[in-house]
Structure 1
Amino acid sequence: MANGSDNTLYTHFIAIDFGTSGCGIVMSTDVSEKPRLFSKWVPGQVGIAIKCPTVMLLDHNGKCEAFGLKARVNYNKNCVKHSEEFKNYSLFEHFKMKLYEEKNITHGLMIQAVNGRKLPAVTVFSEALGYMKKTILSELDAQVVHPNRAILWILTVPAIWSSAAKQVMRIAAENAGFCSDNNSLKFALEPEAASLYCLDEKEDDILSAASGQHLVVDCGGGTVDIAAHKWIKVPLEKKVYAEEIHKVHGGPCGSYAINAEFEKLLIEIFKLDITDLRKVCGSHWSKMIYDNFEKEKCSFVIGNDKISVPVPIKVFEYIEKLSGRSMSQLLNEYTQYNIEWDESYEALVLPSELMCSLFDLIVNQVIHVIDDVLKAPECSLIKKVLMVGGFSQSSILVNAVRKHFSSRLSVCIGTTPIFSVLYGAVKFGRHRNLIRSRIMCQTVGVETWDDFKPGEHDEGRKYTDANGKSYCKHVFTELVQIGQSISTQTPISKKYVFTPILNDKKICCLNIYSSYEKEPKYIDDICSYLVGTLILTDLPDEASQQVAVLMDFRGTEITVTATNNATHQHLPLKLDWIKDKYVT
């Protein structure tokens, strides 16, 4: 079994950038640092597809029937006809955002398909990852087979994702076989990966900054992720390391938010029920919003007169039948913008000012999240911003950021911004120690009952046991603090020792809480949130024996171990961030 801490045991390093709008893959081998972009997304296809649209068709058993453009074609060809054979097939699009938008992720989290059918999130993500894994391995098998192939899979995730979102993705990846045989899985945080790639591409430029500090703004399809790094050059090692100087920040203001605003506008104009629309029109509606409009959006620049967005015949026929009026009549009734209907090309003609307004709303949100980071005292020396990700190819976004921060920042774009995260993820997989520290985004702790201290603890929380000893209930015992720098180099974990109260099954549950306050006092304060639970089993029989829990915050995922404090034997445990039910 390959050891995740020793990269010399891996023969292949394969990174998957699972994006909201598209997925990309790169790989390298143990003998070559140079990553190779995976381009054959569909077996036997002619030409290449550098990034594959995140669109998937599942059959009636919840198994992947097709992925990418083929999924949409098959759905429109077969499933929209509502034949008996295909009636329970489901098309899923842009479903990654569900793990960010859902603030109360449970094991029963469902994702809704275009046709309204709902399936478990783990199933949807597992089938998508399984398709990618199968496709990659098919290509590797067609090459010279390595006798002892061991793969380190590197899966990119937004830095602003919760631990629960990461857990859903890990469970899905494990179900898809990413952690079997000699293979292991690591998560790479998207802005960190992009930062590593930018260093390779623009090392002299980055290191020329007097402070050695810069901001990486990863502008993707779903989210914008921001990391603030300080680069430290160590000449003797011939390496450059990154230290995080501010907690990661971001929000749901990726490029697809513009598409969503356009969709809202059309629903308002045509008075549509989106659920019925998607059921009747299948993915024709999605094609208009995420293909036809997307192409015009990507090429739009300020100064353009008008743009045309083709409307699939099934869509405008449905709208006209539903309203009893023509497209031209409906658009004439909308007076805020002069949107026209081109009968010859069956297209919506949008004025430039409408496109600018759609951009402005989202661009201003991006500027706002950048500004939030730069206002922090620890970021006062930052003079350079590196913009990466597909959305950073938009001249409207880049020019707006440059204009807003012109007096303070130099803004530069990578030569291949759409692949920055991918290439950087492979480098992270091979050299994870290049990120030397991270800043905690929240205060994390556990619930304890402490000795009651009059004047310090609330009288209403006082509990006195049968022996007359008084405790304070529901104390938030801090393990790490928001804003705290955690070194990734030092083998140190946050230790909590306690005497478990056992039930008849010798099981104990330790609840984990977080807060955006530096020093939360109680677990039921308005600023404190229950985020996870640690389930310990096979505990010692002796009531006096203590258990030592060590939580490791150094990596891209929080890990934990537990030992019998007397025997030093490891105890079986399960760390669950998904909020179905916790034992209190």
Structure 2
Amino acid sequence: MAQSKLSSHLLVAAFDFGTTYSGYAFSFRDDPLKVQTNQGWNAGSEKLISLKTPTCVLLNDKGEFHAFGFEAENKYASLAEDDEHHGWMLFRRFKMLLHNNQELSRKTLVDDINGKSKPAMTIFSMSINYLRDHLLKELNNRTTGIEETDIQYVITVPAIWNDNAKQFMREAAEQADIDTSRLKLAWEPEAASIWCQIIKTEAKCALSGDGTKYMVVDLGGGTADISVHEKCADGTLKELHKTSGGPWGGMYVDQNYFKWLESFYGQRALERLKLEDMTDFFDLLREFETKKRSVTSDSKEMVNFRIAASLKEMSEEEENTTLQDRLAALSLQEKVSVKRDRMRIDPSIVRSWFHEPIDNVIQHMNEILAEPQMRQVTSILLVGGFGESTYVQGKIRKAFAEKRVIVPEEAGLAVLKGAVRFGHEPDIVSARVMSYTYGIARTKRFDPSKHLLSKKVFVNGKEKVTDIFDIFVSSGETIKPGQVVTQRYTPNNFERTTLCIYCSTDPHPEYVTDATCKKLGQLQVKHEEGEALQDKKFIVSLVFGDTEIIVKAITTKTCKDFYTTIDCLT
């Protein structure tokens, strides 16, 4: 059904909204595999041409959107140099606000580079709106006769995100004037897996055989998304293991680098560089983003970094000591040298910045592959911007020497291009494994041999037990897209029933008040017709298997139906 619905759209456009970088790609209905990206974002001072641009938003001193990406960084740096940046707000790497945030709501705030706050929904919607407008201008430059309503949109999201984060992203897109009926969310590891079934490289040869089972490791700027897929005989993909992962992306290498710089130059000197010479500060960030991809496991040559000469002066002023004395105090004379605006660092120090995130990824991969049902997994597909790091690739190849580790060309674009393909053919994923248990709070007849006495209540004079977790699907269960799970209910109230929907990390929770449970949202079912409670019975259906969950309720006597997506942001 979803596929036929999409067939009327002239093209599919996907936005990869990343923690560190964002971009878009598109392809037309008559040639869906010819996926086109923006031909290059100009970084400015570094003369760097990139297929993605930093996920970075600049607001002017009136709180209005001014720029996104490299343009935002460069404009803010220029303002700061002239001391005219006061009141302007620069937001960077704010996507991680949505990761595992149980308190996320429409009113959640996000801090800019100086700690000033704005509603996160506003910043996210501004970002999506910019990418959408940039796409439309690019389309108009390349061809004629395209209307905005011809476009099916796809936005990529980490598969390990919870339901409230996915809803937050959809609502941000709606605020950016994207028609929600023409928007699909694509899970990032799925999108990468889809693209690697198509490209004519080693990846396709290794992964496209019927029955092939492989692990997908999507290492982005913020998170690691790890899943296991099987290629089915009908050409679809089946998820074999629920997606899991954690905050182990490339930005944590950057953080370790800056912690090391602070230990050497001093925290105050780094703060001054950011305040007094923002251009050099951004150059520091951009150069490291490029440099960290070329670090290798076996290199013994010192790694060269360009460090602003002003940082050395600031450090010696703030620390009241020379950098040479600092080297001696830290016992780094043999491993670090500084000359004018060049710093040479021993590769063992540079590699140490990678250890924590990569060790976490490898440990998690080992835990999954150790499960008995994962024995037939023969290959590992490594994608994502952080997955382009030579050192990361080397560590994973060494840790899993018995597996075939595949890194496709342009690994950082695999998610984006796969998301375009998913938009054309959403049924290409034929089964997903549930990450959570979903169900509804229910009141049942009290059984003293099964139920807690503290849960006993009296309803219409009868002993009942409240807060029962009525399970629809369990964590780890395999579900087909669009699969409907139905339960029948007799209400306790004559006028209406409020259905409270819960999720849990436990496959078999007993009560919705268990520590593993979280309330997702609710649905009001009105059943005013009929004279007895038996006349007011209704059927509840939860629709699973897609990237979002739908709730339906139908009263059996009147056939009146109630329908909603779960509101997880109240």
Question: Normalising to structure 1: TM-score of the pair?
Answer: 0.88
Q: Is the counterpart of residue 534 in structure 1 residue 522 in structure 2? A: yes
1:548 counterpart (529, 539, 556) = 539
TM-fit CA distance, 1:380: 1.4
- The match for 2:434 is 440
Asked if the contact 2:488/2:537 (under 8 Å) is kept, the reply is: no
Q: Tell me by how many angstroms 1:366 deviates.
A: 1.6
Higher mean Cα deviation, 493-502 or 91-100?
493-502
C-alpha distance in structure 2 between counterparts of 1:436 and 1:443, whole Å: 20
Shift in Å at residue 91 of structure 1?
Answer: 1.0
Q: What is the percent sequence identity of the aligned residues? A: 26
Provide closer, same or farther for how the CA distance between residues 412 and 276 of structure 1 changes in structure 2, counting only shifts above 3 A.
closer
Distance in structure 1 (CA, Å) of the matches to 2:443 and 2:233: 46
**Partner of residue 307, structure 2:** 311
Cα distance change on mapping 1:561 and 1:326 into 2, 3 Å: farther
Distance in 1 (CA, whole Å) between partners of 2:417 and 2:2 is 22
For residue 187 of structure 1, the aligned residue among 167, 185, 188 is 185
Which residue in the other structure is 2:451 paired with?
457
Q: 1:425 aligns with which of 406, 414, 419?
A: 419
Alignment pair present for 1:483 and 2:483: no
Cα deviation 1:251-292 (Å, max 9, x = unaligned)? 111222111112223334455269965872574575255312
Q: Is the 8 A contact 1:337 1:351 kept in 2?
A: no
**Residue in 2 aligned with 1:215?**
215
Q: Distance in 2 between matches of 1:319 and 1:284?
A: 18
SS at 1:299 equivalent: coil
Relative to the length of structure 2, the TM-score reads 0.90
CA distance in 1, matches of 2:274, 2:113: 7
CA apart distance, 1:133:
0.6
Contact 2:100 2:162 in 1 (8 A): no
Instruction: Check whether the contact 1:305–1:352 (CA below 8 A) recurs between aligned residues.
Output: yes
Q: Measured at CA, do residues 150 and 43 of structure 1 come closer, stay the same or move farther in structure 2, by a change above 3 Å?
A: farther
| 1:446-487 CA-partner distances (Å, limit 9, x unpaired) | 21221101201112221124x431111211111110110101
User: For residues 288-309 of structure 1, what are the alpha-carbon distances to aligned partners after superposition, in whole Å with 9 as ceiling and x for unaligned?
Assistant: 5531222221122231421232
Match of 2:507 among 518, 532, 545: 518
Q: How does 1:155-554 map to 2 (within 5 A)?
A: 155-179=155-179, 184-201=182-199, 202-208=203-209, 211-234=211-234, 240-272=235-267, 280-281=275-276, 283-284=278-279, 287=282, 290-301=285-296, 302-313=298-309, 315-335=311-331, 340-345=336-341, 347-407=342-402, 409-465=403-459, 467-488=460-481, 491-495=483-487, 497=489, 499=491, 501=493, 509-526=498-515, 528-536=516-524, 540=528, 544=533, 545-554=536-545
1:415-438 Cα distance to aligned partner (Å, 9 max, x none):
221211111111111111110000
The letter for the 2-side match of 1:431 is E
**The residue matched to 2:267 in structure 1 has which SS?**
coil
Structure 2: which 5+ runs fail to align?
none
Given the superposition, is the C-alpha separation of residues 515 and 414 from structure 1 closer, same or farther in structure 2, using an over 3 Å criterion? same
**What is the aligned length?**
560
Alpha-carbon distance between aligned partners in 2 of 1:349 and 1:508, rounded to the nearest angstrom? 68
Q: Which runs of 5+ in 1 are unaligned?
A: 235-239
Where in structure 2 are the equivalents of 1:74-153 lying within 5 Å?
A: 74-79=75-80, 81-83=82-84, 86-100=85-99, 102-142=101-141, 143-146=143-146, 149-153=149-153
Distance in structure 2 (CA, Å) of the matches to 1:42 and 1:353: 32
Letter in 2 for 1:384: S
**Match for 1:515: what amino acid?**
S
Q: 1:62 to 1:508 in 2, by over 3 A?
A: farther
CA drift at 1:87: 2.0
468 and 365 in structure 1: CA distance in 2 versus 1, 3 angstrom threshold: same
Instruction: Indicate if the aligned counterparts of 2:502 and 2:519 stay in contact, CA closer than 8 A.
Output: yes
Matches within 5 A, 1:559-574: 559-571=550-562, 573=564
